[in-house]
Amino acid sequence: MDTSNLIFDIGVMMMVAFVGATLAKKAKQSVILGYILAGILIGPYIAFEMFGFRYDGLVHDTEFISTLSTFGLILLMFFVGLEFSFSKLKRTRSPAVIVALINTGLDMFMGIIIGYLLGWPIVDTVFLAGVFAMGSAAITGKSLLEMQRMSAPETEFLLGILVVEDFVSMVIMTIAGGLIFKTGAVDPLSMTQMIVGIVAFYAFFILLAIFIIPRSVKYLEKIKNDELFVLFALGLLLLSASIAEIAGVPAIIGAFFLGMIFAESKISKRLEEKVSPFKDAFVAVFFVSFGMMIDPGMFSTVLPIVLLAVPLVILSDLLLTGALAYFLGFSSKGAAFMGSSMCGRGAESVMFATIGSNSVGVTKAAVINPFAGAFCFVMSVMTPVLMRVSDRISRLIGRILPSYVKISASLVNRTIGKIMLPSSLKLFQRTRRTEVALISYFVLLVALMVTNGPIQLIVLLTVLLTTAYIYTLAEVEFRTIVKTCNYDNLGVTCRDPRHISRFISSFVTMALVVIVLVTYAFTLLWWSSLVVLLFYLVTVLMLMHRTSAMVRSPSTNLLILDRPKAKKETRRDRRKARKAERGRGTFGTIATKGHRKEPPLPPMGDDRFSDSSDPEPYTWPEGEASDDDDKKGRWGRL
């Protein structure tokens, strides 16, 4: 290794990183884009000739640079872990976890569909889906600061969603970057080693988080010398990454979990302050080296993939995830803003592409890296713009949607929001049975993914029965909530809460069923899952149309939930009726000729006329009530 060339290469990388970051900031873009473009310009794959001068790049020996970039990636993931806040997650746990899991699942599904459409092998498809699905917390956070939206009501939930997505991303990287694809085999011994490695890795960090670090923090606080503190922090970080590698897990996962362990400790601020300069320098080296691995000649090859991926990201994140946020109780503008904020792609996608290109069995590494670079560039530019115009997008969607869809969606929004969104006065809570049923559902769903044959059919039947049981529980809980909700401004005239509670329970249960059916159909024929989704969309629209017509029709008010049962006729009642027919009262006979006829009154509690106009009051015909009408009875003049 030539020392002078190595020093020259590092110096060039630092300077072009500085220039690229400066130009990106001038253009009000992420510095990551500047780093990647600078790496492309000095990398070994760029070559052109101009005015008799041929340029072949400045840096050609990338082996040592790759090692430096790995160190930068480890530092980056350590700081991502430091941003993981369990206390923030507790405040927003239900909406954050639901939106993060469904959004990641949707994005992974979209990415896998793209891979199958391209005819890629399963290993390459998984990493392509990972690049597609990994959102960027950095781009979202930067845009929130620039737009001064940090104090907005939905921002806390959005940050909670990003925290959960980072954790889910690390789990996906652990599975995809390790184990099966690295070993290059799927025999029982390799599977056993994989399981043992995962269990040992998580057991070690659980032990570290519960017992070792809490007892060691007070000793670390006594290290007053900054030099000794930095040496200890970097040594512990690299050792954690190496332990992860020994367990068969990517080193960056060990760095992430170490940062997550220190996130709530008293020394987290000091770690961030003292180690941050190292992170800034080596993270820049990582992104520049990633740009150096991109072949500009492949951009024409990845352009069709980018043109296919960008609309699917907008569909998955802006529209579907935004709709999910609205169904959970957020306002339409807040839901559109949350959906647009999740369209960004950046460091996480680049990391996934890097892991994929270094994994055994990947045959499309030359395509994945350019795709990740171009895809992240496009989405990083589009995301801030989408966030700024999210209010207009919300109003546009409101004008396009049919009225029955808006009414039905508002019913779901107003009802589920009572449970999901935090409130100082918690009136409704999920029962223990519902929570157990939901946990069982997700466990069975995972079992459905990893089994096949007769066992898979048994699991499929079990999870469908569990979903039916969830419907019965949800219908009872939603009925209680519906009775306390006010839907008057939606034009709802139905007073029977069963109509609305059954609709919302059916709406939620159908979503759970379609997830199961899509999972099962995908294992048989991947395109059959698209047919299932199309059938689900048509069914939901029909359900919304029927519900909207029902809750706004006055005829549905004739069925009252709490109508008192008719009293059983007794022998005494029949005897009284016979006496009345003979005209005999208790004190004798009362003449009824010419008496005023009272209009029949409805039974007490019967409000069949509540939604129609009140009946006209009874008016006596002119001359009917005269003195001649008074007749003598047995007891004199009445």
**401 vs 39: CA distance, rounded Å:** 46
Give 577-613 pLDDT, tens digit per residue: 666 656 544 444 444 444 444 445 444 444 444 444 4
CB-based contacts of 367: which residues, under 8 Å, 6+ apart? 298, 301, 302, 305
φ, ψ (nearest 5 deg) of residue 636: 110, -165
pLDDT at 292: 84
569 part of a folded domain: no
Segment 517-534 shows an average pLDDT of: 90
Write the DSSP assignment of 25-53 as a string of letters. HHTT--HHHHHHHHHHHHSTT--EEETTE
In this structure, what token pair is assigned to residue 176? 């995809």
- Using CA of residue 35, residue 40, residue 44, residue 48, what is the dihedral sign? negative
Residue finishing a domain among 560, 586, 616: 560
pLDDT of 451 > 90? The answer is: no
pLDDT band at 11 (very low <50, low <70, confident <90, very high): confident
Segment 232-238 shows an average pLDDT of: 88
Q: Mean of the per-residue pLDDT values for the chain?
A: 78
pTM for this model (two decimals) = 0.72
303 part of a folded domain: no
CB-based contacts of 542: which residues, under 8 Å, 6+ apart? none
Segment 60-83 shows an average pLDDT of: 78
pLDDT over 70, % of the chain = 77
**289 vs 369: CA distance, rounded Å:** 11
Nearest C-alpha neighbor of 121 from the set 309, 311, 307, 368: 368
| Segment (H or E) for 588 | strand 588-589
84 part of a folded domain: no
Cβ of 396: how many Cβ atoms within 10 Å? 12
144 part of a folded domain: no
**177 vs 96: CA distance, rounded Å:** 26
CB neighbour burial string for 326-338, b if at least 16 within 10 angstroms, e if fewer? bbbbbebbbbbbb
Per the DSSP assignment, residues forming a β-bridge with 54 are: 49
In this structure, what token pair is assigned to residue 121? 């092998």
553 part of a folded domain: yes
Which residue segment(s) compose the domain that 512 sits in? 401-560
pLDDT over 90, % of the chain = 19
pLDDT of 63 > 90? The answer is: no
Give the chain's domain count: 2
pLDDT at 433: 84
Q: Tell me the CA end-to-end span of the chain in Å, nearest whole number.
A: 127
In this structure, what token pair is assigned to residue 432? 């223990």
Residue finishing a domain among 560, 594, 610: 560
Nearest C-alpha neighbor of 369 from the set 131, 544, 533: 131
424 part of a folded domain: yes
Contact 359, 177 (CB under 8 A): yes
Give the number of residues written for the chain.
638
CA–centroid distance for 407 within its chain:
23
Residue finishing a domain among 544, 560, 576: 560
Lowest mean pLDDT: which of 82-86, 185-189, 344-348, 357-361? Answer: 185-189
152 part of a folded domain: no
In this structure, what token pair is assigned to residue 609? 């006329």
pLDDT of 206 > 70? The answer is: yes
pLDDT of 220 > 90? The answer is: no
pLDDT at 613: 42
